């Protein structure tokens, strides 16, 4: 079994009375991000040494349980020996460390090791010296038998440092980290607030990757979601944008049934704005093992929103003519847009066509055009014209790809 040992005991020197592990990063505590790293490493159980059960610890427990991981908070170092077996794999993360999770997983996932950094400049960043040349980078992997020796130590001994010494005495190999991670602020232990804020911006940008402004509506909404996520991820407000989007959609459907199609379409536009904002916030807040599982929910929400928008647009069209024709035109438009998204995804990274994918997905821009047209009774004509434009762009893709395959 893989077990992670975390610690939340060290005081934050910048904020008296607060633990270093409970500093907020991207809406959640550093301890919560350490938990994510442990989950990425395949840990089935997490043991955290704490001074008491507070809200941050309880939030970590709920997050672990949502990912199918057992979380135990203990106050006595001696309890560790009863929770770990000799043949377990132990991952230790230093108190308050904010690592680059991808690099940690790459270096520790396959075999045991003690991650190290050069003494200069690591000591200046608060890392613990190992010898004359190396400092401990704050993470290691060792065998569970090392934990048995902790029972000989006093209850207030530093578990992480003790396990480091035991691992080194047992001959655990040392693995050097790239010092650039430290110098670039991607591997932090005792960071000041400006440094932590810069790391937070880079982390969010890497996690969200907002689309380009070739799709202005979607790009703006995703950047709003990224900024809002810094404030509400990990709080009770985290799901408010999602609930607001669903609520706007339900209200739009109700208004459409009582003969208010234009007002309903306006609410559908609000739903289209809120959905990408909520999607970004949900991506920032998901536990590692839930990230792929929730993509099915995201796809279902998008599909449901598109079906609703097709119906709302059809209801704003003139009553004259066949009812099926009113539904047919927006259905063709949305079908071509979805086909364009999929074809552009399949073509990546070949050709400039791949960069059009976000434009096909930009429902905000689409509704910004359709809503005024619907007000003047021109929604059917506009949808027909847009369908021809999208269809023409798909033929352009075929020409481009044929050109790329010519010898």
Q: What is the pLDDT of residues 174-203, one digit of tens each?
A: 999 988 998 888 899 887 788 888 888 888
Among 118, 130, 127, 78, which Cα is nearest to 98's?
A: 127
**Is 177 within 8 Å of 117 (Cβ atoms)?**
yes
Q: Where in the chain is the domain with CATH 3.90.550.10?
A: 2-196
**Is 354 within 8 Å of 344 (Cβ atoms)?**
yes
Q: In terms of pTM, does the model score above 0.75?
A: yes
Q: What class is the 211-405 domain?
A: mainly alpha
Name the DSSP class of 19: B
| Cα separation, 264 vs 315, whole angstroms | 10
Q: Where in the chain is the domain with CATH 1.20.120?
A: 211-405
pLDDT class of 160 with cuts at 50, 70, 90: confident
| Cα separation, 267 vs 271, whole angstroms | 6
pLDDT class of 205 with cuts at 50, 70, 90: confident
> Would you say residue 294 has pLDDT above 60?
no
pLDDT class of 350 with cuts at 50, 70, 90: very low
Q: What is the pLDDT of residues 36-87, one digit of tens each?
A: 999 999 999 999 988 877 888 998 998 898 888 999 998 877 788 778 888 8
Q: Provide CATH code, domain 2-196.
A: 3.90.550.10
Q: What is the pLDDT of residues 228-277, one digit of tens each?
A: 887 888 777 888 999 999 999 999 999 999 989 999 999 999 999 999 99
| Cα separation, 372 vs 347, whole angstroms | 34
């Amino acid at each position: 079994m893989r077990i992670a040992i975390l610690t939340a005991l060290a005081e934050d020197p910048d904020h008296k009375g607060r633990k270093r592990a409970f500093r907020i990063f991207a809406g959640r505590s550093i301890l919560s991000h350490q938990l994510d790293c442990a989950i990425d490493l395949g840990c089935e159980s997490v043991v955290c040494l704490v001074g008491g059960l507070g809200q941050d610890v309880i939030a970590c427990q709920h997050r672990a349980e949502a990912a199918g991981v057992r979380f135990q908070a203990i106050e006595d170092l001696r309890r560790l020996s009863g929770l770990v077996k000799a043949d377990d794999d132990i991952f230790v993360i230093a108190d308050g460390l904010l690592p680059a999770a991808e690099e940690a997983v790459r270096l520790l996932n396959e075999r045991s090791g003690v991650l190290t950094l050069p003494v200069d400049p690591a000591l200046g960043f608060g890392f613990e010296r190992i010898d004359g040349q190396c400092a401990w980078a704050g993470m290691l992997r060792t065998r569970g038998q090392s934990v048995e020796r902790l029972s000989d130590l006093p209850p207030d001994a530093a578990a992480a440092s003790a396990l480091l010494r035991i691992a080194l005495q047992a001959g655990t190999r040392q693995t050097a980290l790239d010092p650039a991670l430290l110098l670039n602020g991607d591997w932090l232990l005792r960071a000041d607030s400006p440094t932590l804020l810069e790391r937070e911006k880079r982390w969010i940008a890497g996690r969200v990757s907002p689309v380009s402004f070739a799709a202005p509506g979607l790009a703006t909404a995703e950047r709003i979601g990224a900024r809002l996520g810094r404030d509400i991820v990990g709080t009770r407000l985290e799901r408010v944008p999602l609930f607001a989007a669903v609520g706007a959609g339900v209200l739009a459907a109700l208004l459409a049934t009582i003969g208010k199609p234009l007002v309903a379409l306006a609410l559908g536009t609000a739903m289209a704005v809120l959905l990408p904002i909520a999607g970004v916030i949900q991506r920032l807040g998901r536990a590692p093992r839930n990230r792929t599982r929730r993509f099915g929910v995201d796809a279902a929400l998008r599909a449901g929103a598109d079906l609703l928008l097709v119906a709302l647009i059809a209801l704003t069209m003139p009553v004259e003519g066949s009812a099926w024709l009113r539904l047919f035109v927006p259905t063709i438009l949305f079908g071509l847009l979805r086909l364009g998204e999929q074809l552009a995804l399949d073509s990546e990274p070949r050709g400039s066509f791949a960069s059009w994918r976000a434009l096909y997905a930009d429902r905000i821009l689409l509704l910004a055009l359709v809503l005024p047209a619907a007000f003047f009774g021109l929604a059917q004509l506009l949808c027909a014209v847009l369908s021809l434009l999208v269809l023409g762009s798909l033929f352009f893709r075929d020409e481009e790809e044929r050109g790329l395959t010519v010898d």
